């Protein structure tokens, strides 16, 4: 899977190289935490950007394609279940965001981070609580991250049948807890999370 993309023919000024950064998947019991970094093109307005959770799946998919086509640059970063267990979900989320920014094919001069903490980056950064509602570049990152992770969970549902991953995306729903109790945790389950930990 292509983890980054950019407009190779474009030229950029420092003022344009502001990356929006967001992650998805802090709450699930299974799968990676996935982050995205997006530098939008000021010359190409993308209508409808907002918090990915407020959009329908159809609208998210449409915007996902538009962002990947028209952004100056975008990239993904992630931390897997083992890393989450090793360093905790907060640090894994920050690591995923750092990896996303570092994977950008053009270096950001500044990063706007959704939330109240910034990862350790080589560029300047600022944290914005609910930034996915107020900053278009963060909204774009939230959409790229969510669509990517949702699609990956659908694939994992085929590889780890019985848990219902395609439906609940790894979140601790009643159906997921019941499946965990019956099948036991898989290798993609987060062993440090309470509902999984108590079954080990």
Query: What is the tens place of the pLDDT at every residue in 27-64?
Result: 999 999 999 999 999 989 999 999 998 999 999 999 99
Is 160 contained in some domain? no
Query: Mean of the per-residue pLDDT values for the chain?
Result: 94
Identify the pLDDT of residue 9: 54
- SS3 call for 111: strand
Is 185 contained in some domain? no
What distances in angstroms separate CA 35 from CA 5, 43, 94, 150, one per listed residue? 15, 25, 9, 12
What's the pLDDT band for 165 if we cut at 50, 70, 90? Answer: very high
Is 188 contained in some domain? no
Identify the pLDDT of residue 8: 60
CATH of the domain at 95: 3.30.420.10
Q: Report the distance separating Cα 154 and Cα 77, nearest Å.
A: 19
Task: Give the count of domains, the chain.
Answer: 1
Mean pLDDT score, 7-35: 87
Domain encompassing residue 86? 4-150
Is 123 contained in some domain? yes
Identify the pLDDT of residue 1: 37
Residue 79 in this model has a pLDDT that exceeds 90: yes
pTM comes to: 0.93
Is 46 contained in some domain? yes
Is 99 contained in some domain? yes
Mean pLDDT score, 63-78: 97
Is 117 contained in some domain? yes
Q: Report the distance separating Cα 121 and Cα 148, nearest Å.
A: 23
Identify the pLDDT of residue 176: 97
Greatest Cα-to-Cα distance within the chain, rounded to the nearest angstrom = 56
Query: What is the tens place of the pLDDT at every residue in 113-130?
Result: 999 999 999 999 999 999
Identify the pLDDT of residue 200: 85
Is 167 contained in some domain? no
| Order of strands across the sheet that contains 124-128 | 4-6, 73-79, 33-39, 18-24, 110-114, 124-128
5 and 68 Cβ atoms separated by less than 8 Å: yes
């Amino acid at each position: 899977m292509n983890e980054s993309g950019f407009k190779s023919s474009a030229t950029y000024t420092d003022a344009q190289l502001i990356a929006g950064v967001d992650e998805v998947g802090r709450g699930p019991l299974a799968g990676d935490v996935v982050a995205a970094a997006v530098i939008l093109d000021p010359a190409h307005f993308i209508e409808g950007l907002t918090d990915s959770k407020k959009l329908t799946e159809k609208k998210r998919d449409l915007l996902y394609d538009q962002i990947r086509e028209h952004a100056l640059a975008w990239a993904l970063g992630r931390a897997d279940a083992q890393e989450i267990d090793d360093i905790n979900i907060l640090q894994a989320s920050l690591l995923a965001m750092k990896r996303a920014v570092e994977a950008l094919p053009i270096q950001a001069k500044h990063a706007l981070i959704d939330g109240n903490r910034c990862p350790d980056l080589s560029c300047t950064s600022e944290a914005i609580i609910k930034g996915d509602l107020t900053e278009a570049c963060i909204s774009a990152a939230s959409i790229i991250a969510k669509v990517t992770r949702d699609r990956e969970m659908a694939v994992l549902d085929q590889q780890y049948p019985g848990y219902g991953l395609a439906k609940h995306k790894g979140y601790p729903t009643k159906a997921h807890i019941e499946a965990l109790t019956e099948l036991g945790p898989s290798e993609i389950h987060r062993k440090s999370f309470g509902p999984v930990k108590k079954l080990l």
